[in-house]
């Protein structure tokens, strides 16, 4: 059973962004499943790498849409993205240093991101992007 399940309460009403966000659900649930089997440290390095790749791709796309449509809250939105990137870089440093006991920290970080950024912050741009023809 997954730890978190996608439902419409997570939708930003922009299909490409929603698809990208579903990737985070997949990463979170895969890490959680590995942890339940006592293998969290074995998948942590790949999870952190996948998070870095996700951030690079998804944030660039989302911010491009927000820039194109002159989203008034772009700068604070970008700052939140940078906070995510900084945290993932910390996780990468820990993994590189051999600290593979961070599974629960990464798991909690992702759960919090889903609840605070995707469900709240990203939902704020929905109407703006939809009004500018992006759905």
Express each pLDDT in 62-120 by its tens digit: 999 999 999 999 999 999 999 999 999 999 999 999 887 789 999 999 999 999 999 99
Cα-Cα-Cα-Cα dihedral sign, residues 91, 96, 98, 103: positive
Percent of the chain at pLDDT > 90 equals 95
Locate the domains of the chain by residue range: 14-131
How does DSSP classify residue 9?
Answer: G
In which element (H, E) is residue 128 found?
helix 126-131
pTM beyond 0.85: the answer is yes
Helix axes 40-54, 15-36, angle to 10 degrees: 170
Please give the Cα distance from 22 to 118 (Å, whole number).
10
Cα 124 to the chain's mean position, in Å? 16
Sequence-distant (≥ 6) Cβ neighbours of residue 49 within 8 angstroms: 92
The architecture in CATH of the region 14-131 reads: Up-down Bundle (1.20)
Q: Do the Cβ atoms of 19 and 42 come closer than 8 Å?
A: no
Q: What is the pLDDT of residue 98?
A: 87
Phi-psi region of 133 (alpha: psi -120 to 50; beta: other; left: phi over 0): left
């Amino acid at each position: 059973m997954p730890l978190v399940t996608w439902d419409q309460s997570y939708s930003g009403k922009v299909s490409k962004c929603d698809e990208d966000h579903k990737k985070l659900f997949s990463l979170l649930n895969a890490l959680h499943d590995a942890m339940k089997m006592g293998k969290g440290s074995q998948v942590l390095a790949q999870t952190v790498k996948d998070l870095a790749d996700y951030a690079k791709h998804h944030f660039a796309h989302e911010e491009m849409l927000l820039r194109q449509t002159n989203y008034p809250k772009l700068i604070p939105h970008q700052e939140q993205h940078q906070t995510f990137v900084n945290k993932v870089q910390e996780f990468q440093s820990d993994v590189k240093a051999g600290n593979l006991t961070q599974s629960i920290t990464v798991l909690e970080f992702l759960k919090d991101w889903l609840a605070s950024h995707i469900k709240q912050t990203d939902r704020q741009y929905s109407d703006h992007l939809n009004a500018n023809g992006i759905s």
